Amino acid sequence: MLAVADLKASYSGIQALRGVSLDVAEGEIVGLIGPNGAGKSTLLNCISGIVRPAGGSITLDGAEIAAVPPWTVARRGLLQVPEGRQVLPELTVLENLLLGATALAGRKATYALDRVCELFPVLAERRAQRAGSLSGGQQQMLAIGRALMGGPRLLLLDEPSLGLAPLIVRQVFDALKALNAGGLTILLVEQNARQALDATNRAYVIEQGRVVHAGPSANLAQDPDIIAHYLGQAKSDRKPVQ
């Protein structure tokens, strides 16, 4: 569904991506992990059209989208949940959700309002409440719900667990797993490497704007370098891979 090839991008003269390549097949949930400043958010922003890459290719269903405006990318079914949630605080929960539906642009709604509220019941309970008065976890659910209202075929998520309590993180990831089980393709950036590897089929590790590891998530979770650098366990503590 998605193919990124030799992607390069810069911010304020600093090269954030140095030839990143990855792919996401339909029906997969794929993770991106790596340290802060590695280029993960820049990569998502390039894919969704917010940042114009300096080189390389991004194709969605075989069509080049590297130079396509972000609203057009969204109307093709590629929706992003940004880091920090970025809900519209003065609007109600319902108004935020309905704004998400503008990305449909005539396409069929795959996630109608009642389905989003079934997935996140708190949004139905607080539909008349201003979004800015919600807790961080509730705002994250709203941000995901808003993207779902746009009828995504491919959903990009940037740090969905950031700043959330462990119980809320589990609820959010349970919802993502349910969405993926229902057929939604997901590309996930997540600082919590263990959470990301547990939730995904495959993963890429990005450092200093380059992909340095890639493979099935279960295999990466057993890799001594990944364990040492991202999973909080020393190499000497690791059991040998059989």
Q: What is the CATH number of the domain that holds 168?
A: 3.40.50.300
Q: Domains in the chain: how many in total?
A: 1
| pTM (global) more than 0.85 | yes
Smallest CA-to-CA distance from 176 within 1, 31, 25, 2 is with 31
> In this predicted structure, what is the pLDDT of residue 233?
52
| Structural domain includes residue 82 | yes
Residues in the chain where the model's pLDDT stays below 70: 232-242
Q: In the prediction, which pLDDT does 27 show?
A: 97
Q: What is the pLDDT of residues 128-184, one digit of tens each?
A: 999 999 999 999 999 999 999 999 999 999 999 998 899 999 999 999 999 999 999
Task: Identify the CA nearest to 106 among candidates 70, 77, 63, 145.
Answer: 77
Q: What's the confidence (pLDDT) of residue 236?
A: 36
Q: Would you say residue 23 lies in a domain?
A: yes
Domain that holds residue 67: 2-90+156-233
C-alpha dist (Å) from residue 46 to 7, 50, 84, 178, 206: 9, 6, 17, 27, 15
